[in-house]
Structure 1
Amino acid sequence: MLEIDKLCYTSKLRYVNAGEKCFFSLASVILCIVSRSVPAALLLLIASTYLTVRKGGISIKRWLRYMTLPLTFLLLGTGAILVNISRTPLDAFALPVGSLYLTGSRAGVLQAAQLILTALSSVSALFFLSFNTPMTDILGVLKACRLPRLLIELMMLTYRFIFLLLENASAMLLSQDARLGNRDLRTAFRSRGMLASMLFIRAMRQAGSLYDAMEARCYDGQIRVLEEQHPPRRREILSIAVFEAVLLLLALLPFAAGAAGAGAWL
């Protein structure tokens, strides 16, 4: 079982209505991405961290470890916005390199910070959903939203095969290490190629076996799964509505300020 899947089933928010958690995460992500508002992004980042760590029971160390990966990617990705190579220094910073400068403008620094905060807060909201909601509950929400049945069943089967492929890959890697299949670079490349080909063959065999098993159990084109019912609570709905309203107000502030400035200029 994946670590994220273990966190889902041990979370204190496991039995909170899945529709509430999905709406909170997706609505917050949409508002942050559309508005690019720094206050809204900070609020969402703090709220997601609080809910996951304090309410969900996940340790702050584990939460920071998961957040480090997207943060590192964002810092590397925004370097192209932040740093420029120019013959003339800009107003934020300038490091001389021969006759050129590694320099950046204040506008670029602000744009990079805005991009990092927006992306990081969106990732934190999706992590909140992933760490506190099992995949079966998410699929139940998608089914309630009237998504195509074929799409939901494909997602369910894909999710199931992730564990099967990881288990097979782990067993094959252990077998290769026991036979010194990674003793040098050349042998390691050859072993990885063999692992990929055998993993593909085993995946096809397991897919065929799964279909045969489903046919033997009177499969009629629809996968039926027992779903746990966790009714929504009025207090939780009200809290989500208040939070999204505050987030919407923070998201609209830049547009309101721009409109006021344009009116004053006219």
Structure 2
Amino acid sequence: MHDLLDDWAQCNGLRETSARLKLFFGLGAIAICISSLEPAAPLFVAASMSLIILILAKIPPRIYSRLLLFPLSFALISSLVVALMHGSGDMLYALDLFGRVLGIREDGAALALLLIARTFGGMCSLFFIALTTPMIEIFALLSSLRIPKSVIELSMMIYRYIFVLLDQAAMIHNAQVMRLGNRSIRSSLASFSMLASVLFLRSWEQGERLVIAMDARCYDGRLDLMEERRGARAKEIVAAAAYLAMALAISIASSRQGII
């Protein structure tokens, strides 16, 4: 996944667009999604962001659908729980489970729909940033915004070594599967405990190797980042501002209609 996101971020159709504009555009859309009181604006952001990613950024639909699968499945399960446990009004669906009635009411269904819409819109906006802007540009941009150096450097190391440890875990798991380490529940638990312990030792070793490598390169406590500045064109700024204004107008109009 690390190689996948970085590869597409380096060669997508919006690669030459200003990183500052893309970050402002994506974060603005996320803010509108999470602040909307009705699902209309988040659904509009989700649909339009998906079209931007697929058409303008030229990300293959197969890749994009795989990325959306996990957060959407989690959102659907969470929304179902919210719909069953929350709300008032007329009963839309009732289920008798061991003498206890579980039902979905109007307010619960509306809240569940809003939760799905917010998650969908926010994730599409987040994937817009991830699939069109390399992480090194995001870190350089944060550095130019006067974010503390220690926070940025720590984030860079965490981002890098998350995927290093995932690769190590995948290699160990594949070796265990080839040796029938998951043939039963008991052996699966033993294999998992062994994987966790070995992964902890590997992470410790990777940290020591990192310190030695950085000392060998005369590390003085600072990682320099070079930001490749690209000025945003006027039509790009106008298009981004018009889009965010439209999404905000939809959010406000739908909220007022819901209140009325």
Which category of TM-score, normalised to the shorter sequence, fits these structures? Answer: 0.7 to 0.9
* Matched residue, 2:59: 58
* Matched residue, 1:264: none
Q: CA deviation at 1:12?
A: 1.7
Mapped partners of 2:92, 2:179: distance in 1: 56
Correspondence list, 1:1-266, <5 A: 1-83=2-84, 90-95=90-95, 101-254=101-254, 256=256
- CA offsets 1:95-127 (integer angstroms, 9 cap, x no match): 556866443322322222122112211111111
Range 178-187 or range 206-215, more displaced: 178-187
Give the residue type in structure 2 aligned to 1:77: S
SS at match of 1:92: strand
Q: CA deviation at 1:257?
A: 5.0
SS at match of 2:103: strand
Range 90-99 or range 24-33, more displaced: 90-99
Look at both structures and tell me which one has the larger radius of gyration over its CA atoms.
Answer: 1
Mapped partners of 2:99, 2:180: distance in 1: 52
Mapped partners of 1:233, 1:62: distance in 2: 29
Mapped partners of 1:200, 1:94: distance in 2: 47
- Cα–Cα, structure 1 residues 145 and 99, in superposed 2: closer, same or farther, change >3 Å? same
Range 215-224 or range 4-13, more displaced: 4-13
Mapped partners of 1:239, 1:214: distance in 2: 44
Query: With structure 1 as the length reference, what TM-score do the two structures score?
Result: 0.85
Unaligned runs of 5+ in 2: none
Give the residue type in structure 2 aligned to 1:235: K
4+ residue segments displaced more than 6 Å: none
- CA offsets 1:46-84 (integer angstroms, 9 cap, x no match): 221011111111122332232232222222212233236
Give the residue type in structure 2 aligned to 1:52: I
Query: With structure 2 as the length reference, what TM-score do the two structures score?
Result: 0.87
- Cα–Cα, structure 1 residues 216 and 253, in superposed 2: closer, same or farther, change >3 Å? same
Mapped partners of 1:10, 1:252: distance in 2: 36
SS at match of 1:224: coil
Mapped partners of 1:206, 1:99: distance in 2: 55
SS at match of 2:14: coil
Mapped partners of 2:65, 2:4: distance in 1: 15
Range 215-224 or range 97-106, more displaced: 97-106
Range 188-197 or range 116-125, more displaced: 188-197
Range 227-236 or range 37-46, more displaced: 227-236
SS at match of 1:104: strand
Give the residue type in structure 1 aligned to 2:120: L
- Cα–Cα, structure 1 residues 160 and 80, in superposed 2: closer, same or farther, change >3 Å? closer
Q: CA deviation at 1:45?
A: 0.9
Give the residue type in structure 1 aligned to 2:186: R
Mapped partners of 2:46, 2:62: distance in 1: 16
Identity %, equivalent residues = 32
What is the root-mean-square deviation in Å for CA atoms of aligned residues? 2.5
Unaligned runs of 5+ in 1: 262-266
Mapped partners of 2:111, 2:164: distance in 1: 43
Contact 1:37 1:250 survives alignment (8 Å): no
Task: Give the total of aligned pairs.
Answer: 257
